[in-house]
Amino acid sequence: MIETLTQPWPWYVAGTIIGLIVPTLLILGNRHFGISANLRHMCAACFPSNIPFFKYDWKKESWNLFFIGGILVGGIISTQYLNSPDPVVIHPDLAKDLTQFGITDFSGLVPVQLFSFDQLFTVRGLIMMVGGGFLVGFGTRYAGGCTSGHAIMGLSDLQWPSLVATICFMIGGFLMTNLILPYILAL
């Protein structure tokens, strides 16, 4: 049992469990699956700064903060107790591309050669960590949701604006990875 759990889980298992989170949250308390609104709640809780967008009763949405707290704990649990002994398998073409940019350590889920405190003092690291994070926070709120709120919850409820948002997420991602990121990685 534990051996099965420590192996990387196939996509259909992960997809099914994530899909089931949608009805679970609805049945537990009519909560709509979504993550990025938490960033707004954190602003509302910590830095409302008299901005109308952040003046609402964030405490009513505190379930969402508990939810991401759980995600954090889930990350700790699986890393501590369900860790796979095998290295992460990476597509050979991706490995080849990344090696050109000096990224050779594929051992973790998050590449330490790009995302670490040391990297903050490099132009590349600064752009990727601070710039990338900023785009995620700004873009998700501007779009009114992220992969969970739009791509999974919105599409599950057959909302066409969510389909528009999801297609735009993908276009943005394709543009970045294939056209822009090579220049950033070369820095």
Partner 1 sequence: MKQKETDFEVRSLDTMCVNESELVHPWWYNFKYAAVGVIFGIVFIKAEIISWFRIQEMFKLQSFHMYGVIGTAVVVGAISVFLIKKLKIKTIHGEEITFTNKKFNKGQVYGGLIFGLGWAITGACPGPLFAQLGSGSLAVIVVIASAIAGTWVYGKFRDQLPH
Site for partner 1 in 125-144 (CB under 8 A): 127-144
Figure out which of the listed residues 102, 104, 122, 175 binds partner 1, where binding follows CB under 8 A. Answer: 175
Binding to partner 1, residues 145-164 (CB under 8 A): 145-162, 164
Angle, helices 160-175/132-143, rounded to nearest 10 degrees:
160
Q: Tell the smallest beta-carbon distance from residue 167 to partner 1 (Å).
A: 7
Figure out which of the listed residues 102, 174, 182, 187 binds partner 1, where binding follows CB under 8 A. Answer: 174
Rule CB under 8 A: say whether 102 interacts with partner 1: no
Could you please report the per-residue DSSP string of 42-100?
A: HHHHH--TT-GGG-S-GGGGHHHHHHHHHHHHHHHHHHHHS--SSPPP--HHHHHHHHH
Rule CB under 8 A: say whether 113 interacts with partner 1: no
Q: Tell the smallest beta-carbon distance from residue 123 to partner 1 (Å).
A: 14
CB 33 within 8 A of CB 67: no
How far apart CA 168 and CA 32 sit, in angstroms, is 22
Figure out which of the listed residues 3, 11, 86, 87 binds partner 1, where binding follows CB under 8 A. Answer: 11
Rule CB under 8 A: say whether 122 interacts with partner 1: no
Angle, helices 62-81/37-46, rounded to nearest 10 degrees:
110
